[in-house]
Structure 1
């Protein structure tokens, strides 16, 4: 049984607390947050203790920590936790700064403890089945990937200002999905961005609508489309064209009822937001972390994966700023 300390008590931490407590191989023992009341309430809900982050990190009975704090604290907590001898699962991204994330990776290598980055979409049952079909050769060599990721509504501008921007905050999941599906990193990245949803997002220096086209060394192509607004719900689709066929993973709907009349065919909308859509993925992600840690295996979404996705986000930002395709090596080797 793994004893787990949870750093953070916000919305995503609540999701993780549920997954930790539901797993037969882990036990939530401590919760810390910058708001002590939030930590106390979440800890009480699961029979855990509310402690400070320092108390959790210095507690020798805690085997691993899950980091679900603000992004600007991720690298520091990863370093402190691994130095304290604890395994880590940290929410994405590793950091908003690529250089800081690389420094974190160097520190972690010196400490020798496993770190997993929370790219939960790898563990979505539909996307995982798609990856398994590709690996089994069911559609031959992959040739084109299309990832669609639309939020139902934009976040508050106060969030946008500290998020790192749409490429680091939102599209980073899709950059990781491209790594996961295509089995490697692209050679070039061309990004475009607009502000079509909320002018305040543009005033904050960010985009709410963006597309990235990536080309691989062997000529394969991946296209990622993001929008902060889809009035019909949380739109999450992946399509892969291969030499021998096509794989498609569609939206999860609010229900499976389809009404067919002389006026047309109507089905339910997509699930409203990521908490509903991806709860099974969060549970599977935690299960994969526990299994890898228990068996001494490599984590299925590594710190290196997190840095690679951050590098793609950085390349996308530079591509928009410079209005040109960017060779990913320009970022990776800088």
Structure 2
């Protein structure tokens, strides 16, 4: 039984608490949060103890930590937890600074404790099935990947100001998807973005609508589209054109009922937001982490993967700001020297 401490009792922490408690091979034994009342409330709901981060790290009976705190604490907590010998699952991104994420990767390489980054979309059943079919060679060589990710509504501007920007905060999921499906990072990144959904987002220095083109060294292409507003729901689609066919994963709808009359066909809207859309993915992600730790095998989403996705996000941010294509160097993908 993996004894787990949850660091962060906010919205995403509550999602993870549910996954930890539901897994037959893990137990939520502690919760820590900068807001003591939030930690105590969530801990009580699952029969766990409310503790400080320092107490969690010093407790030898705790095997693993799940980091669901604010992004600016991720690298420090990863380093502290691995130094304490605890397995780590950390929410994305590793950091808002690529240099800091690279330093974190370098620091943790000296410890045996595994670190997994929470790119939960890899564990969505539909996207995972698409990846498996591609890996089996069912459509030949992948040539053109299209990823669509539209939020139903923009976040508060107060969040935008500390998020690191759309490319690091939102599209980083799609960068990881593209690298995962194609099996490695691209060579070149070209990005365009604008603020047309909410002028306040632009005033805060961010964009809310963006398109990024990724090019691999063998000519493969990925096109990623993001918007902070899709009034009909959470639009999440992937399509991969290959030399021998096409694979596609469509939206998950609120229900499967379809009405067809002489006036036309009507179906339900997509699930409204990520909590509804990816709940199964979060549970599968946690199960994969627990299984890897128990077996002593490599985690399915490494800290190196997290650095690679952040490097692409960094390149996209620079490209959107300068209007130039940005080459992704090997140094951007590696640990700090």
How would you bin the TM-score normalised by the shorter chain? over 0.9
Task: Encode CA deviations 1:275-308: one digit per residue, 9 max, x unaligned.
Answer: 0000000000000000000111111000000000
Structure 1 position 185, deviation (Å): 1.0
Paired residue secondary structure (2:236) = strand
Deviation of 1:112 after TM superposition, in Å, equals: 2.3
Unaligned runs of 5+ in 1: none
- For the pair 1:306 / 2:306, whether they are aligned, the reply is yes
Query: How many Å apart are 1:330 and its aligned residue?
Result: 7.5
* Correspondence 1:82-231 to 2 at 5 A: 82-231=82-231
Q: Secondary structure at the match of 2:109?
A: helix
In structure 1, distance between residues paired with 2:231 and 2:291: 39
8 Å Cα contact 2:307/2:333 also seen in 1: no
TM-superposed deviation, 1:18: 0.2
CA distance in 2, matches of 1:326, 1:76: 29
Pairs aligned (count): 334
Aligned alpha-carbon RMSD (Å): 1.0
Partner of residue 234, structure 2: 234
Residue 314 of structure 1 contacts residue 331 of structure 1 at CA under 8 Å; is this kept in 2?
A: no
User: Which TM-score applies when normalising by structure 2?
Assistant: 0.98
| Post-superposition CA distance 1:101-139 (Å, at most 9, x none) | 011111111122100000000000000000100010000
Please give the alpha-carbon distance, in whole angstroms, between the structure 2 residues aligned to 1:194 and 1:269.
26
Is the Cα contact below 8 Å between 2:172 and 2:310 reproduced in 1?
A: yes
Deviation at 1:329, TM superposition (A): 1.2
**Range that drifts further, 320-329 or 282-291:** 320-329
SS in 1 for 2:299: coil
Gap change, CA 1:156 and 1:144, over 3 Å in 2: same
1:283 aligned onto 2:283: yes
Counterpart secondary structure, 1:218: coil
Distance 1:163 1:145 in 2: 27
Deviations, residues 205-230 of structure 1 (Å, cap 9, x unaligned): 00000010011111010000000000
Check the 8 A contact 1:175/1:313 in 2, yes or no. yes
Residues 165-213 of structure 1 deviation map (CA, whole Å, 9 limit, x = unaligned): 0000000000000011111111110000000100000000000000100
Secondary structure at the residue paired with 1:111?
A: coil
CA distance in 2, matches of 1:199, 1:245: 41
Q: Which TM-score applies when normalising by structure 1?
A: 0.99
**CA gap 1:331/1:223 in 2 versus in 1, 3 angstroms:** farther
Structure 1 residue 89 displacement after superposition: 0.1
* Segments ≥4 residues shifted beyond 2 Å: none
Matched position secondary structure for 2:69: coil
Unaligned runs of 5+ residues in structure 2 are: none
TM-aligned CA deviation for residue 331 of structure 1: 6.4
Taking a change above 3 Å as real, the CA distance of residues 180 and 141 of structure 1, as seen in their structure-2 partners, is: same
